[in-house]
Structure 1
Amino acid sequence: MHPAELSPATQDYLKTIWRLGEWEPERVTTTSLAARMGLAASTVSEALKKLTAQGLVTRPAYGVVELTAEGRDVAVHMVRRHRILEMFLATELGYTWDEIHDEAEVLEHAVTDRFIDRVDAKLGHPSEDPHGDAIPSRDGVITPAPAVPLGDVTHPEPVRVTRVSDESSETLRVLAEAEIRPGAVLRVLPDPARSATVRVRVAGGGTTPGGEVPGGSSPAALATQGPPDVVGTVASGGVTVELGILVAEAVWVQALTLAS
């Protein structure tokens, strides 16, 4: 089944189910799907009944949702569109990385496969979008880099940022202020106060197409003008920042030996 045969709402449901399972080990549920889409659980339940009848999802257990092979094909097709469009908006049109997600959400339903293929070729067939998420190939193959949430890192060895969740534009702006992007090298620091934050030293900034730091802030400026979810101080060998738990949860990293 081609995505063009389905409504934009159906495309969004399938894509969101797939994305919920992309990085989280827990099974996708009606509740988690409703929360991600900002809809009432009753609305989502009715939609899932229709998707089940179409052979796009299965309900193997109460409240659990899984894509069928056909549903996965459609979902990955839409993910490919979305991430190529994000890359195009960032590199060719100058959008910042906190702006591209919402724009791509609209455009992905309107463009053709031919257009996406042309854009992909124009961009040089990128393997990742500006947030570090893997872009599926034309035949649906996707190979994400191994990574763990920043909050799970307990050792002092440096790690490299591989992806940042694009679910919150505000979080992306906060991380841009701290110069935490894909490619940035971080070192998790001890937190003697055991506060509800994650302390990291940003040793090297990453690069994000179109993702300039809002307002042109420098690392040093962060120490005095950081937003409320991140507090920064200038330290030897980089900038030390304290990230709120929700912000830190959006950052995924891997050991430098894996990233190199």
Structure 2
Amino acid sequence: MPSPAIDDYLKTIYHHTEWQDERITPSQLAVELGLAPSSVTEMVQKLAAQGLVSHRPYGPITLTEAGERRAAAIVRRHRLVETWLVREFGYAWDEVHDEAEILEHAISDRFLERIAERLGDPAFDPHGDAIPDAAGQVRRERFVLLRDAAAGHEGRVLRVSDRDPALLRSLEDAGIDVGRTVRVVDAATVAVDGTEAVLPEGAADAVWLTA
């Protein structure tokens, strides 16, 4: 049955491993969701009983096949809504996350697919995150986190984390957005169109480039 609480858990677990390989732990999940560890432990047990996650005490949490399908479906909703708000209503990329959190639970499947059709079935949202297709499949290029990119590496900005709206605005002011080609000077500096730009604090852990 539809449940915003369950969907939020599955979406967070899904998102955790999109841009790195480490599985999420219950304590990390509690931090991500802003909930007490005891509440998260109880919900994870319920998700495991429903066959949506696999989890052993004190170990990481893994989505089952059924959990992956359901998570991909809600992630698709969220990212399509974000894209719709930016393209059709003029929202900035730092304004859409909270709106999408509300709308993703409120619209019907039929309306969602009308949005997808209207947008031309986009593969990526405004932050560069992949939008799963109706079957839950995604496509991604090989990537490297800015912090891990070697000096001199040149790549296209694939993704910028939407966790911090203020950081998004600062990066935009520095000329950094999805699709922009940059050359790495160091973890705090990149060259954009031949001009060096000092990045705001936190950018090295929030920007992914083509590998």
Q: TM-score, normalised by structure 1?
A: 0.78
Q: How does 1:161-172 map to 2 (within 5 A)?
A: 161-172=157-168
Aligned with 2:195 (options 238, 244, 255): 238
Q: Work out the CA distance in 2 between the residues paired with 1:61 and 1:67.
A: 15
Aligned with 2:188 (options 193, 198, 213): 198
In structure 2, relative to structure 1, the CA distance for the partners of 1:125 and 1:138 (3 Å cut) is same
Match status 1:147 vs 2:103: no
Q: How does 1:90-169 map to 2 (within 5 A)?
A: 90-169=86-165
Structure 1 partner of 2:172: 176
Alpha carbons 2:122, 2:131 under 8 Å: kept: yes
Q: Work out the CA distance in 2 between the residues paired with 1:80 and 1:145.
A: 18
Listed one character per residue, the Cα deviations across residues 38-80 of structure 1 (whole Å, up to 9, x for unaligned) are: 1121111111111111111111462311111111111000011
Q: TM-score, normalised by structure 2?
A: 0.95
Structure 2 partner of 1:59: 55
Structure 1 partner of 2:4: 8
Match status 1:254 vs 2:210: yes
Give the paired residue count. 211
Aligned with 1:78 (options 47, 51, 74): 74
In structure 2, relative to structure 1, the CA distance for the partners of 1:157 and 1:68 (3 Å cut) is closer
Counterpart residue identity of residue 163, structure 2? E
Runs of 4+ in 1 over 4 A off after TM superposition: none
In structure 2, relative to structure 1, the CA distance for the partners of 1:118 and 1:151 (3 Å cut) is same
Counterpart residue identity of residue 172, structure 1? L
Alpha carbons 1:98, 1:173 under 8 Å: kept: yes
Alpha carbons 2:152, 2:184 under 8 Å: kept: yes
SS of 1:97's partner is coil
Structure 2 partner of 1:224: none
Q: Work out the CA distance in 1 between the residues paired with 2:56 and 2:149.
A: 34
5+ residue gaps, structure 1, are: 191-196, 204-236, 256-260
5+ residue gaps, structure 2, are: none
Q: How does 1:38-53 map to 2 (within 5 A)?
A: 38-53=34-49
Structure 1 residue 155, shift from structure 2 partner: 3.1
Q: Work out the CA distance in 1 between the residues paired with 2:92 and 2:130.
A: 19
Q: Work out the CA distance in 2 between the residues paired with 1:144 and 1:112.
A: 27
Alpha carbons 1:82, 1:108 under 8 Å: kept: yes
Counterpart residue identity of residue 204, structure 2? A
Kindly name which structure, 1 or 2, has the bigger radius of gyration based on alpha carbons. 1
Structure 1 residue 242, shift from structure 2 partner: 3.5
After superposing the two structures, state which structure 1 stretch, 60-69 or 112-121, moved more. 60-69
